[in-house]
Chain A
Amino acid sequence: MTTISPETLALPVAMAVAAGLVGCFAVMRRMTLASDAISHVALPGIGIALVLRINPLVGGIAALVIGTILVWGLEHRTKLPTEAVIGVVFSAALAIGSMLTSGENLIEALFGAARSPGLLEVSLGCAGAVLVVAFVLRARSRLVIALVSSDLARTVGIDVRRLDLVYLLAFALAVALGLRYLGVLLMGSLIIIPATTARYVARSLGSMLVVAVVISVASTLLGTLGAPLLHVGGGPLIIAIAAGFFMLGLLWHRRA
């Protein structure tokens, strides 16, 4: 049986905290479909990295950053609805990525891998998670005002375009953190499902952030620890558990 040390859990927990926080604002910005699609853009990057024989995660992260900037630019420079822009860009990314990646590599890229990360990857991943968490907590007031009204945000001196870009980059970084564990198909779900559950049960911003983080971390820990026991993939189990919390949230909300 695979033994799981506390060090092995550090990166998944950090990833889950970042995903829970960044997801709250994605849900409130009505980016639920978009966020799933954004994670797909990592696939062609992973494919190109495999062709070039470099670390697939490096390729995935590079593709996420480029894709995010592309979406932000198109959103601000064209009159196309964001959903349409994202639909075109990321569906194309998934198609191209599937052509560049094949076999086991494709399955790993889509659903995550069971291999443990090295110390360097854990350190860099944790640093990335700290960046995302620090951004969301520091920018939460600006994000809240921009959510309610971008015009109000401008009167308070908030650069809404810049805030949008930094948020999307933080989102992309959160996706990148989970590529190893959940893959491009499932990482978007870890960002969205806990935050959607929290959106449903919370009555204030603070409680939404706390509930989303708790569900995200609990799903990740239970999934990571339970997968070897149940002989299933960690990524799919994490998302199944998160979906279970969502169902409980629905029931709790109906009874409340």
Chain B
Amino acid sequence: MTPNALEVEGLGVRFGGTPALADVSFVVPQGGTLAVIGPNGSGKTVLFKALIGAVRHEGEIRWAEGTRIGYVPQKLDIERDLPITGFDFLRAKASVLRAPEADIRRSLKLVNLTPKVASRPIDTFSGGQFQRLLLAFAVMGRPTVLLFDEPTAGVDEPGEESLYAMIRRLQKEEHLTLLLISHELALVYQHADTVLCLSAGHRTAFFGVPEDVLTPERLREAYRVPLKLHVHDDHLS
């Protein structure tokens, strides 16, 4: 049996007495893919913040020994209006981790960003380029786990590898455990090993394989609106 990269038991987060996440439990085996879904305000990003230790929480979070986390936050949480180039940003991480300069080139190559683009200030990056830069930042220092908060649909450059395809390739090449917040239920259905579905109002959290969690009944209960999942062939890649 594959050992677990992460075990979470009875996780809860409160902001000033208001619950933002309540009684969430799940496990992620090493090398596995967990997709976190749920309506806006159900606590998906709060869950990730609890996992990286950015917010206080109740319950238990147990990472496997030697875990190194690479985190790609939501674009909205990021300050971009700065005179900092892509290289400045990556060099900063290399300097903190004492990683060699070669690690920067390797990360850029992994996410298909050219050194020419990386030498520009980050406020000139397109949406897709900036997500790739964040991904390059995350994979520096060879993480064992990648947390990705909503890879944004529609930012992919025409003719280039899609962000989802890139994440899956990285997972394979770097032997990563992947935790992914996503709104794209069809992709979740096809590529996640397990799904954690958080619900509006933090009433219940469903955890299991996609076939068990992504049912019309459970989705309706979580989202409080009727939802149906259609899986199209064009999502297969």
Contact = CB atoms under 8 A, between A and B. Distances in A.
A5 interface: no
B71 A204 contact: no
Given A148-B79, A149-B79, A155 B88 contact: no
Contacts of A140: 92
Contact of B93 (A145, A151, A154): A145
B84 A144 contact: yes
Contacts of B52: 151, 154-155
Given A141-B91, A149-B73, A208 B83 contact: yes
Interface residues of B, number: 30
A237 B95 CA distance: 39
B88 A205 contact: yes
Contacts of B95: 141
Nearest to B149: A151
A151 B54 contact: yes
Contacts of A151: 49, 52, 54, 71, 73, 77
A203 B85 contact: yes
B85 A204 contact: yes
B16 interface: yes
In the complex, which of the residues B52, B78, B96 has the most CB atoms of chain A within 10 Å of its own CB atom?
B96
Contacts of B122: 148
Interface residues of A, number: 27
A204 B96 contact: no
A158 interface: yes
A199 B81 CA distance: 10
A156 B96 contact: yes
Contact of A141 (B54, B69, B92): B92
Nearest to B71: A155
B102 interface: no
The majority secondary structure among interface residues of chain B is mixed
A149 B78 contact: yes
A248 interface: no
B66 interface: no
A144 B54 contact: no
Contact of B92 (A144, A157, A204): A144
A58 to B, nearest CB: 36
Contacts of B39: none
A229 to B, nearest CB: 36
A70 interface: no
A202 interface: yes
Given A151-B73, A152-B73, A158-B96, A199 B79 contact: no
Interface string A192-227: 000000110011111110000000000000000000
Given A145-B93, A156-B97, A204 B78 contact: no
24 contacts: A28-B83, A79-B16, A144-B88, A144-B89, A145-B93, A148-B79, A148-B82, A148-B89, A149-B73, A149-B79, A151-B73, A151-B77, A152-B71, A155-B69, A156-B93, A156-B141, A199-B83, A202-B83, A203-B121, A204-B85, A204-B87, A205-B83, A205-B88, A207-B83
Given A154-B52, A204-B87, 12 more contacts: A141-B91, A144-B89, A145-B89, A145-B93, A147-B79, A147-B82, A149-B73, A151-B52, A151-B77, A155-B70, A203-B121, A206-B88
